[in-house]
Chain A
Amino acid sequence: MTCLPTHTERKLGLVIDLDTCVGCHGCATSCKEWNTGGYSAPLSDTDPYGADPDGAWLNRIHGYEVGDGTESRTVHFPRSCLHCETPDCVTVCPTGASFKRAEDGIVLVDPDLCIGCKLCSWACPYGAREYDPSHGVMKKCTLCVDRIYNEHLAPEDRTPACVRACPTGARHFGDLGDPNSKVSQLVAERGGFDLLGAFGYKPVNKYLPPRSRRDARTVGADTDTAPQKQKIAAPTTAIENLFSWVDRALSR
């Protein structure tokens, strides 16, 4: 069993905007690309050119349709480790390979200590852990711990690769333990929520819900206000009306 820190100085995490994500997979492949050569290197792929290609990804995007009829909408849902405040994936670890950093709350797996028992993946309700069969160890989102403090990178690039790449700006990174941080304010403004909060793991990452749409339901049904105000003229009258308006408009 592995202990959690009693307190973390910061709560670094992601805020993901489900209203803006178009499902392009830029965050997923940029994550794979950075991390296959980073702390978790490699993120292996099996049967990469064959019948059943599979691999370790630390971030995956799912597309769902939710709601029925006029309420139906398509949502793109990026899924990765939420760096929970009280994660079972750490406490179940028999070797201490899984750990939560006291400095910033990032949950990591030490590949040298991991024995690949998979207890952590059973403990995680979010399916955020990925077993790498080629190396027999568990891999997971590191919040790009090897980028965010990396002084070889320009200060503006010290963000997780997924945030750095996201073309729509749907991903945000920061300290969710600081109520004044930009990410905390964003969560407050947009009603950011915990994924499966009822489980009680207190995920640090937050999701921003889709905004309410301005469509027929919200701007008023298509009640045809125009014709009510002004009976639709026959085509010839409409043309005459238009020309007379144009004359007035042009000579004003």
Chain B
Amino acid sequence: MSTTVQDRVTTKTSNTAADARKSEPDAHGVILSEKPADRIETTTCYMCACRCGIKVYLKDGKVRYIEGNRDHPVNKGVLCGKGSAGIMQHYSPARLKAPLLRVGPRGSGEFKEISWEEALQTATSWLAKVRADDPRKLAFFTGRDQSQSLTGWWAIKYGTPNYAAHGGFCSVNMAAAGLYTFGGSFWEFGEPDWDHTKYFMLFGVAEDHSSNPIKIGLGKLKARGAKIVSINPVRTGYNAVADEWVGIRPGTDGAFVGALIHELLRTQRIDIDYLVRYTNAPWLVIEAPGAADHGLFVRDEKGNALAFDKRSNALTPAEGPDVVPQLSGLVKLPDGRTAIPVFQKIAERYLTDAYSPETAEKQCGVPAAAIRRYADELAKVAFEQTITLDVPWTDIHGRRHEKMVGRPVAMHAMRGISAHSNGFQTCRLIHILQILLGSIDCPGGFRYKPPYPKEIAPRVKPTGKPGQVKAGEPLPGPHLGFPMAPGDLLIDDAGTPQRIDKAYSWDAPLAAHGLMHMVITNAALGDPYPIDTLFMYMANMSWNSSMNIRDTLKYLTDKNPETGEYKIPRIIYSDAYYSEMVPYADLILPDTTYLERWDCISMLDRPISEPDAACDAIRHPIVEPDRDVRGFQSVLLDLGARLKLPGLVKEDGSPQFPGGYADYLVNHERAPGIGPLAGWRGNGDTFGKGAPNSDQLNRYIANGGFHAHHIPPSQRYFKHANKEYLDWAASVGFRAADAKMTFQLYCEPLQAFRLAAEGHGPVRPPENHRERIAKYFDPLPFWYEPFEGTMVDTGKFPMHAITQRPMHMYHSWGSQNAWLRQITGHNRLYLSRARGKELGIADDDWVWISSHLGRVRCQVRLMDGVNDQTAWTWNAIGKRKGAWGLSEDAPEATRGFLLNHLISELLPAKGGGYRYSNSDPITGQAAWYDLRVNIEKAAPEAVEHSEPRFEPFDDPIGRGHPDSISYGAEFKRARR
């Protein structure tokens, strides 16, 4: 690729005749119509994971202004507090300037600058040796990566099974629960039908992903008068504008939702036609306790699940078009076995007293009467205020429907659900509630964004079983997938995990995003094996992205007493900024800022689609770096070529993508005709599948950095059962043509694991795992108390403690931003006034907050809008001295704090001494919201400060930061 900043399409601002009148200063020096930019470039924001379209105004070679792109599908012109502070991120003094090689001990921050050639040669020599000996000894984890389809592919070609991004401590509970239930997911992969919904329930949403879409949506709901109910222990942000705030106890949302399900079933207000049409409610489940097929579906010889058809009075494939299924009652099978429909199992589960509102009240603290009222409100809106769109559509069986009828209740959920050890099953409970109301992908409900829905569950299986990892060879498949039975796990005959993070082992069988949070601990402890090189990108794993920071730092610096070598011998790290992770690496590959780079928001990983359009996007360099830095993705391709990885070199051994990431974006094909970007393929007129188009990036740039393929009205709803949509989705490679799309209320794969725990099948868990697998792999979701609360003395640690992200900050990035840190420069521990009174704690008091792991000293702010049993704070504000280009007396370091010091990455030992990770037992999602604490007033100090404190880094970047900045003065000087 030869595209440069100069020859790409730019938007020039125009001169008009009126300029003369308004472009001169008036008596007060006011220029009403000054040309605001020499050029305006459109690209994609990276101030958080939301990926909004932005227009960057450039003047005199500097960034003058950044605004939202009105044409962009994600933000439609608006921009949040982070995006609008992009200038200060782009010019942050914490930016790394050149490759660095460690010269002092790890953690000291003593580096020397080296050339890129030396850096790349060093990395290549380390990585080549590992690949030749044992590729497992490279652990490659990529944090808040937005290029996972590239980084994952690279790791496949390298041959290590140890690859994942940060989903294991972010969203995997929700991703997995959704994909195993309805082929979609909350988070950024679907959204409420903001234009039609009349009743919106928001669970535990932190203000990060889909930040602007949710804000735009809430604005729409407000304008239309739709009711908003928020379920969240803390009443800030979105929860502050809700009609009702349900200040629930953390980790008990499943109990609340279970009681809503109970009430809807009890009052017979569920969408029974929807259940018959789209779900496995009629499927028959074998009732043979103790047998190897107990709890599995009754299937015919072709594998079709069967229902009992009342019309023909016979067993029939359940997914046929004209089945009138029996939904209750025992069915005697021809071979003498008995079976009952899924619907009966649901009724028997949720109509018991275990799910009554009275029981839930005791668990979650929401009054039973209020729960009944919410259920009543949901049902009234769903069934008495239906929405009808006069849009004909054709269902999966080819039947034409004249209208689209919707249940206008929508739900959305995020970290408050996912970051608990019961998150997978809790999220499944929410999906069951949505489905019983008939509100998935109907008008007014929760809508898929293409390429979703995917097959339920996606057919791809994880790779990395014994025999699949070979020295010097690529992995034969993708790292991450969706096990359907124990045979899909990555374990050996003894049940030993094959991945360094123990993903897809009995510890975390459905670990669809890996467990990045366990890599450093496991690698240093050699459990399940030691590694040679840890290679990470954009993940602050020595600080706010790890649980148990003190031990994490120990693991990063511990040496093997026999060899004197670090237990993790080599660490390569790429970041754009001097984060706390930088001093703990041996080799630093400095990345660019988001305005200096090529990037791809791909349909192959995390696209920016809207329900009505399949969309992807790029970033392109609009300012040249003024430092010796390179975009990480181009560096990765360079390393791959130097390592001669297949697919990364041509037959003659020269690099396959000599033009770096931009070259790859255009010319790489994952499958014939399918590449990173779906728009303008072939001759420029093809979407999805088509030959590489050398003009593709110019077309993206000319279109504002994105491509949108609009879905016709007849395909916009009921996508899981909409023939036209599904046929099109198959034609562009979003799904297999024969993908199974029936919603799985009853999740048979979980039962397969449970049967293994009961001693059936060839792959069975070792004895010490059996009880846990049998209990939690329930094919119907259930609520249970999060683990930490059941394993520590809750008399000693009576309070819950959680974090959330301020709307104007993204992880640790915000504190280097001169503007954003003025908004939040340190954090407080928030407690309810009532709790403060009980504990004798007043506003501004300093307290010790302690957990079973350790203690933190911090300052309190009392408030009303927080659950009485909960303390909370803003996450990732606390900084270590010497990081992020801040002075050592920055309030982030002197008064800021992290709860991470209190959260253990391992659960306390149980019988047998084995310590599971502090994670969901099904997916391995880090359970950092399970934290239990005690709070007590601290003795005053002469100079108040937060604790724990660590040695400051020797950061050459942070020295000599300016006393003041007057950004923009240069534009005024140029004007006068």
Contacts and interface: CB of A to CB of B under 8 A. Distances in A.
Given A53-B822, A168-B218, A108 B808 contact: no
A115 interface: no
Contacts of A68: 864
B732 interface: no
A46 B244 CA distance: 41
Interface residues of A, number: 95
A33 B30 contact: no
Contacts of A29: 81-82, 84-85, 808, 819-820
B745 to A, nearest CB: 14
B494 interface: no
Contacts of B961: 48-50
Interface in B51-65: 59, 64-65
B327 A243 contact: yes
A153 interface: yes
B837 interface: no
Contacts of B808: 24-25, 29
Nearest to A229: B267
B338 interface: no
B68 to A, nearest CB: 7
B6 interface: no
Contacts of A219: 373, 377
A47 B93 CA distance: 13
B80 A167 contact: yes
B258 to A, nearest CB: 14
A216 interface: yes
Interface string B341-385: 001100110011100000000000001111011001100000000
Contacts of A37: 59, 64-65, 967-968, 971-972
A241 to B, nearest CB: 7
A169 interface: yes
Contact of A72 (B78, B265, B864, B891): B864
Contacts of B78: 26, 164-167, 169
B389 interface: no
Contacts of A222: 367, 369-370, 372-373
B68 A165 contact: yes
B268 interface: yes
Interface in A1-45: 17, 19-26, 28-30, 32-39, 41-45
Interface string B243-263: 110000000000000000001
Contacts of B885: 49
B966 interface: yes
A189 to B, nearest CB: 12
Contacts of A24: 80-81, 207, 211, 215, 237, 807-808
Interface in A106-130: 108, 110-113
A70 to B, nearest CB: 10
Contact of A42 (B81, B82, B967): B967
B327 to A, nearest CB: 5
Contacts of A227: 372
A215 B244 contact: yes
A210 to B, nearest CB: 8
A25 B807 contact: yes
B253 to A, nearest CB: 19
A63 interface: yes
A232 B222 CA distance: 36
Given A30-B67, A33-B65, A152-B13, A48 B969 contact: no
Contact of A25 (B13, B32, B68, B81): B81
Given A22-B237, A55-B822, A152 B35 contact: yes
A146 B34 contact: yes
Contacts of B227: 214
Given A43-B968, A48-B962, A26 B81 contact: yes
A19 B241 contact: yes
B966 A167 contact: no
Contacts of B211: 24, 167
Interface in B949-972: 958, 961-969, 971-972
A170 B67 contact: no
Contacts of B966: 42, 44-45, 134-135
A33 B968 CA distance: 9
Given A75-B240, A167-B78, A151 B67 contact: no
Contacts of B32: 145-146, 149-150
B216 A47 contact: no
Contact of A99 (B28, B263, B377, B825): B28
A44 B963 CA distance: 11
Nearest to A245: B268
Given A20-B241, A74-B240, A152-B35, A46 B963 contact: yes
B863 A146 contact: no
Contacts of B963: 46-47, 50
A25 B647 CA distance: 46
A196 interface: no
A252 to B, nearest CB: 10
Interface in A62-80: 63, 65, 68, 72-76
Contacts of B891: 51-52
Given A222-B367, A223-B369, A53 B965 contact: no
B965 A51 contact: no
A238 interface: yes
B273 to A, nearest CB: 8
A250 B327 contact: yes
A107 B403 CA distance: 55
A168 B214 CA distance: 9
B66 interface: yes
Contact of A152 (B14, B70, B218, B890): B14
B345 to A, nearest CB: 11
A49 B887 contact: yes
B965 A48 contact: yes
B394 to A, nearest CB: 23
Given A20-B218, A48-B818, A39 B13 contact: no
A249 interface: yes
Nearest to A51: B889
Contact of A214 (B30, B68, B243): B243
B887 A214 contact: no
Given A20-B241, A38-B968, A74-B865, 10 more contacts: A45-B822, A45-B964, A52-B891, A65-B865, A165-B79, A167-B80, A216-B370, A242-B351, A246-B327, A249-B273
Rank and list the top 3 A-B pairs by shortest CB-CB distance, nearest first: A25-B81, A222-B369, A37-B968
9 contacts: A24-B207, A29-B808, A47-B963, A49-B885, A49-B887, A51-B894, A151-B33, A167-B212, A224-B368
